[in-house]
Each structure stands twice: as C-alpha cells, then as structure tokens.
Amino acid sequence: MPQMFPNDLLCRSILFPKSWPNDVFDIEALLRLDSVDKNVHALSVASRYLLETVDGAHKYGCRAAVAGNKRLEEKNQRPPAPVAEAIHYLGFYDMRYGAVTDISLNYYEIQIRWRFENGEDAHFQIELHPKSGDSTERQRKAERAAARALLATCLAGPYRHICACDEAFRQDLETIEMTEFAFEQLGMI
C-alpha cells in the first residue's frame, strides 16, 4: 500500500445531487459512512498525491459521475435527464490525512486503507472498525454520527469544477450552494 504522511491530502468528490437530500447541501450526506460489511463502515476518498494535480482530482470525480450515470441508464433503460436526475461532478473537498488519523473514538478505530476499486488505484477508504470490547449498536450508531461531524473539521474547500461534459448546464451547476471549509477550523471543536 502507498505510504501516507500527516500532511498528505485525501480528496472527497462532490457528486450532485447525492449530498443535497432536501435540495440543500448537507455535509453529513457528503460524509456518510456506508456499511461495507456487518461491522465496518467506510467513506470513499482518493489520494491527491496519486492523482498528482488538481486536474487529476477533478478527472477522478468526473469518472465517478460518468460511472454513476451509466448505472442509472442501465437501471432506467434511458439516459438520466441532466440536472434533474443525472449525477454531476461539482468539485472536491480536501482532507488532511493527519487530521483524520488524529480523530479518536470510544468504540471505533479509524483506519485509512488503500482499496483498489473500479480500476482506480488512487482510491482509499476511511474505515471505522469496531474496537474489541462491549459496545451496543446504539452506542456505535451515535458515534458514527459524531465521527461525521469530526471528519467535517478535517475539510478544506470546496474546489469547484464544471466538467467539459457539463458545459451546457454550467449556469445551473455553478449556482448550487455548498458549505465552505478551511483547515484553520481545525481544533475549533
């Protein structure tokens, strides 16, 4: 696995409309930890070092949107309608590796693992693994919510982007609001 250092950056792609559950940007939705097996929850991110440039990070996000739209098209047997149904890549947030690994939780251990996926070798997962010892599902669920709030303090951005494939919808996409974060917010909570 590629080694990472505290000041290395991980990026989280912003895919519209996934993080807009009620038509309003929701950081909790962006940082949702999906269940990957019975016990482990994970958030997909990518290594900025392996993606090399800001443009590389944007291309990575664009590929995720294209793949998502392909799945929608297969499911619905027609291409998704732009803006109304389709997934659009709008940019990314950075997260500092060291800030994520500094998060300490009672019931979970945070691990950042390299997970080759969909041909993407820059893909990593921020994973929550239950610590040994007793904890109830209720306690773990509450702590997963707390973990999302702590992960939000690790963010900087957004670094916005409109893909060439989305040029026709620029006006609609550029005006979509997202919350701003800066690394200075670290340590505020």
Q: At its nearest, how many Å lie between Zn ion and the CB of residue 88?
A: 8
Tokens of 122: 């820059």
Is-contact 156 134, C-beta < 8 A? no
Q: How far apart are CA 145 and CA 16, in angstroms?
A: 22
Q: At its nearest, how many Å lie between Zn ion and the CB of residue 166?
A: 6
Provide the 10 A C-beta neighbour count for residue 101.
15
Q: Please report whether residue 165 would count as binding Zn ion according to CB under 5 A.
A: yes
Q: At its nearest, how many Å lie between Zn ion and the CB of residue 11?
A: 15
Q: Please report whether residue 103 would count as binding Zn ion according to CB under 5 A.
A: no
Neighbour-count burial of 133, counting CB atoms closer than 10 A to its CB (0-12 exposed, 13-18 middle, 19+ buried):
exposed
**Which residue of 14, 90, 163, 173 would you call a contact of Zn ion, by CB under 5 A?**
163
Q: Please report whether residue 62 would count as binding Zn ion according to CB under 5 A.
A: yes
For 40, the 3-state DSSP assignment is coil
Q: At its nearest, how many Å lie between Zn ion and the CB of residue 186?
A: 31
Site residues for Zn ion, 118-147, by CB under 5 A, read none
Task: Give the footprint of Zn ion on this chain (CB under 5 A).
Answer: 62, 163, 165
